[in-house]
């Protein structure tokens, strides 16, 4: 006999955990299922472990910047295997912690690959489970790259599991993953190359600040190769030979590992969505404004598995999960608000944005004023020896509201949260300038940035 629930959540990442607990607290019978260890990308293979590994690179970089300014950095180095072990002290306990928390709240925990077999039924390794509602929250996986030798690419999770870093690494793609891990690896002593088929990487970010990030990356020792298309990867006795094409010419590298950083796709192909009449495309499950499937009303989706305008970020997945849950519990009544969602590339230093790009603001018809400031000579950066830092603030001339904030510099990943709140609450420049900050802090620079 099939087991039956009020809600089955497919995928057990942060969006799923929040949704499952909320529905269970409302008295619903709830089950969750994942074929991977519980925790999802953020806790196990992305945000959190990445930030732990970044700490080693931060220390190396900080010492290097202060050479000749009171710090002797010679001999300081990263022990990669110890750093990975430190990362595992967090990730190894996470699946059990999450599962125990779910079970404590009466949620049924299932393991294995799930696929739909009917509008309201899934199958997990031969066992069938029915539910009034489903939440698809399966996240994303590396987008397939169809080239000879594509099977030799390793993903972000495999990179973070390496016990030792190869002497040479090549990253494919000019997005978050490539730049973040390249900044770690080069400070751990590897020779690092990034190839990107476009002329400008990180296209979602302000191009003037991306230019500064590329310059800082090159200064750190990263070989960035734009307008380069990956053609093949061949395994050899010495590692891998990577062949690319750049402006009509063949380029070749011999490296120890090749890392996939060329985009991600919704992890939905194995779910057999057509069996449940669930429409989906290359961007995920097609949903209405309430995050409900447009073709099967019993199904909702959140995070990277849902086709929404929300950026592919963990906080977005979490609040989409909350919105979907509220709509399942109370009927469709709320929609996600993406205003003021910040996004950060955790290079060293970090690059962040919130709100509109300058070009987006102009295209939307705003009368804008733009303040671009090179902040590399400001006290907060002079103090630590950083020579690459800048900000661009986009303001509506008519309303004095901040439309976009774009920051590149040390500790700006924290500062951007103030701009995010300002955009969320539609604060004016004059409002922010009334803030009396603690001094001297990076936050005390905010007024001058405006």
User: Quick check: 255 and 236 in contact, CB under 8 A?
Assistant: no
pLDDT classification of 2: cutoffs 50, 70, 90: confident
For the segment 21-38, what is each residue's pLDDT rounded down to a tens digit? 999 999 999 999 999 999
Strand order, beta sheet including 257-260? 222-225, 191-195, 168-172, 257-260
The tokens describing 351, both together, are: 């690059």
Q: How confident is the model over 227-241, as a mean pLDDT?
A: 96
- Render pLDDT for 347-361 as a digit per residue (tens, 0 to 9): 999 999 999 999 999
- The answer to whether the beta carbons of residues 352 and 416 sit under 8 Å apart is yes
**Looking at residues 103-113, what average pLDDT do you find?**
97
Eight-class DSSP state of 44: I
The pLDDT tens digits of the residues spanning 370-416 come to 999 999 999 999 999 999 999 999 999 999 999 999 999 999 999 99
**pLDDT attached to residue 13:** 95
Which parts of 217-276 are beta strand (E)?
A: 222-225, 228-236, 239-246, 249-255, 257-260, 264-266
Share of residues in the chain with pLDDT > 70 (%)? 100
CA separation for the pair 368, 239 (Å, rounded): 52
Asked if 320 and 289 count as a contact pair (C-beta separation under 8 A), the reply is no
Structure tokens of 110?
């299932």
Element (H, E) at 207: helix 207-219
pLDDT tens, residue by residue, 47-71: 999 999 999 999 999 999 999 999 9
Three-class SS state of 160: helix
* Average pLDDT score over the chain: 96
pLDDT at res. 74:
85
E-only strand ranges, 203-349: 222-225, 228-236, 239-246, 249-255, 257-260, 264-266, 280-281, 284-286, 299-301, 306-307, 343-345
Q: Phi first, then psi: what are they for 361, rounded to 5°?
A: -65, -40
Instruction: From 399, 441, 446, 445, select the one nearest 421 (Cα to Cα).
Output: 446
Angle CA 448–68–382, to nearest 5: 0
pLDDT-derived band of residue 73, with 50, 70 and 90 as boundaries? confident
Averaged pLDDT, 140-145: 94
The angle formed by the CA atoms of residues 189, 195 and 199, to the nearest 5 degrees, is: 130
Res. 1: pLDDT tops 60: no
Residue 150, both tokens:
């594509």
pLDDT tens-digit series, residues 260-310: 999 999 999 999 999 999 999 999 999 999 999 999 999 999 999 999 999
Q: For residue range 214-230, list pLDDT tens digits in order.
A: 999 999 999 999 999 99
DSSP-based three-state secondary structure for 328 = helix
Q: Rounded distance, CA 146 to CA 368, Å?
A: 43
The two tokens of residue 288 are 């209405």
């Amino acid at each position: 006999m099939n087991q039956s629930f009020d809600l089955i959540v497919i995928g057990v990442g942060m969006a799923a955990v929040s949704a499952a607990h909320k529905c269970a607290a409302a008295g619903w019978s709830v089950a969750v299922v994942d074929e991977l260890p519980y925790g999802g990308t953020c806790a196990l293979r992305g945000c959190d472990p990445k930030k732990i590994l970044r700490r080693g690179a931060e220390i190396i970089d900080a010492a290097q910047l202060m050479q000749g300014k009171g710090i002797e950095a010679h001999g300081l180095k990263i022990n990669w295997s110890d750093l990975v072990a430190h990362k595992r002290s967090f990730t190894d306990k996470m699946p059990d912690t999450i599962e125990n928390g779910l079970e404590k709240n009466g949620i049924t925990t299932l393991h294995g690959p799930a696929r739909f077999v009917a509008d309201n039924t899934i199958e997990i390794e031969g066992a069938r489970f029915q539910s009034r509602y489903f939440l698809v929250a399966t996240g994303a996986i590396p987008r397939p790259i169809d080239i000879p030798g594509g099977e030799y690419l390793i993903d972000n999770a495999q990179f973070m599991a390496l016990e030792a870093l190869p002497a040479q690494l090549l990253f494919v793609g000019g997005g978050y993953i490539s730049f973040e891990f390249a900044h770690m690896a080069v400070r751990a002593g590897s020779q690092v190359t990034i190839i990107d088929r476009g002329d400008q990487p990180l296209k979602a970010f302000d191009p003037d600040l991306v230019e500064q990030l590329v310059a800082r990356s090159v200064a750190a020792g990263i070989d960035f190769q734009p307008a380069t298309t990956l053609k093949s990867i061949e395994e050899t006795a010495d590692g891998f030979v990577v062949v690319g094409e750049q402006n009509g010419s063949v380029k070749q590298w011999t490296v120890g590992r090749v890392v996939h950083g060329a985009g991600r796709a919704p992890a939905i192909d194995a779910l057999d969505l057509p069996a449940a009449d669930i429409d989906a495309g290359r961007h995920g499950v097609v949903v209405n404004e309430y995050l409900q499937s447009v073709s099967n009303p019993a199904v909702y989706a959140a995070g990277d598995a849902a086709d929404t305008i929300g950026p592919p970020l963990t906080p977005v997945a979490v609040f989409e999960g909350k919105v979907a849950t509220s709509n399942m519990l109370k009927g469709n009544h709320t929609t996600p608000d993406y205003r003021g969602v910040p996004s950060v590339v955790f290079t060293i230093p970090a690059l962040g944005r919130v709100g509109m790009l300058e070009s987006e603001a102009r295209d939307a018809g705003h009368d804008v004023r733009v303040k671009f400031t090179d902040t590399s000579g400001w006290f907060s950066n002079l103090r630590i020896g950083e020579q690459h830092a800048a900000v661009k603030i986009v303001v509506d001339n008519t309303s004095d509201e901040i439309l976009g904030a774009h920051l590149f510099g040390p500790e700006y990943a924290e500062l951007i949260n103030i701009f995010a709140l300002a955009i969320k609450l539609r604060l004016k420049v004059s409002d922010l300038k009334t803030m009396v900050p603690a001094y001297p802090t990076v936050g005390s620079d905010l007024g001058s940035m405006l």
